[in-house]
Amino acid sequence: MGKCALCQEERELEKSHIIPKFVFRSMKRNSPTGNMRMASQPNRVIQDGDKQAMLCGVCEDRFSPNETIFANKVYHPYHSDNLQVVEYEQWLNHFITSISWRSLYLDIVEFVRDQNIDIIDLDILIEAEKIMREFLLGERKDLGHIENHIFFFGPIKEASGDTSEFDLHTAIGGSVVGYTYISHDPDSSYVFLNLQGILIVTILKKAVEEVWENTLVEEKGFFNMGEPKHAVSSPVFNELFAVAKDLRESREKISESQKEKIVEAIRKNPERFLKSKAYQRLKDDERIRKR
């Protein structure tokens, strides 16, 4: 028993996934070895996503219909290169808010426990958490000043400057992360999520000069994978490079015995590796590096 983070009732809590289960299932299926590793623990094979006892069964069930719609209309088509146009209604805002909120809630708990957050920043996060929670519970119809954005990472045609050093295809396309990001210059805050190339940003406090073109999730609308293109200029965009840098560092930390296991798995089933998305991403990174 415990207090549910969403409805705040004393109920039996279930171990919830922070990032939906379908993401981890597909990540495992598409990995070259059939196993998966998280950047933070490169030597440990992860069987499942991160789980926390935070929600009651009733609240878990509130999330699952929208997760299913997102998986079928966006996630799976994107990962099988079949995503053309996404028509959406409020399920998209609900789905995005449900993961952003889970991530934000757990970060607030951690910030408060470790006392490593400025009180003004904390107030902004707490206010946003309340709005998102009320929205998820159906107590309010809109998200107020909070904005959800979605955009899709595709093969980079041309890289400028140092971009090629980061192996962005492997880093962004091959990883799953979700966390709260606070910027102080300029002042702004976000929840940043990367579901293997599907980039989701919930803006909790917007900086004065940010550009978000064709990425805002409204009550209903559609995204066309052709034109018009997304254009983003925001402090949170630096996070893409931070993710890539973390991944590169964690790869350098993979132990020799883990490397041998990976090579062995590829040797046993080279077909699987050559057909994998991971291999395609390595080729895309190589192509950029050669220019």
Chain positions contacting Zn ion, by CB under 5 A: 4, 6-7, 56, 59
Query: Which one, 23 or 59, has the nearer CB to Zn ion?
Result: 59
Query: Which one, 54 or 176, has the nearer CB to Zn ion?
Result: 54
Give the DSSP H/E element, type plus range, for residue 66.
helix 57-70
d(CA 102, CA 123): 17
Query: Which one, 6 or 71, has the nearer CB to Zn ion?
Result: 6
Query: Burial letters for 8-47: b for 16+ Cβ neighbours within 10 Å, e otherwise?
Result: eeebebbebbbbbebbbebbbebbbbeebbbbeebeeeee
Question: What three-state secondary structure class fits 41?
Answer: strand
CB of 5 to Zn ion, least distance (A): 8
CB of 95 to Zn ion, least distance (A): 18
Query: Which one, 7 or 108, has the nearer CB to Zn ion?
Result: 7
CB of 60 to Zn ion, least distance (A): 8
> For residue 95, what are the β-bridge partners?
none
CB of 15 to Zn ion, least distance (A): 14
Q: In residues, how long is the chain? A: 291
Nearest to 236 by CA among 284, 179, 162, 157: 179
Taking CB positions, which residue lies at the least distance from Zn ion? 4
Query: Which one, 59 or 199, has the nearer CB to Zn ion?
Result: 59
CB of 33 to Zn ion, least distance (A): 38
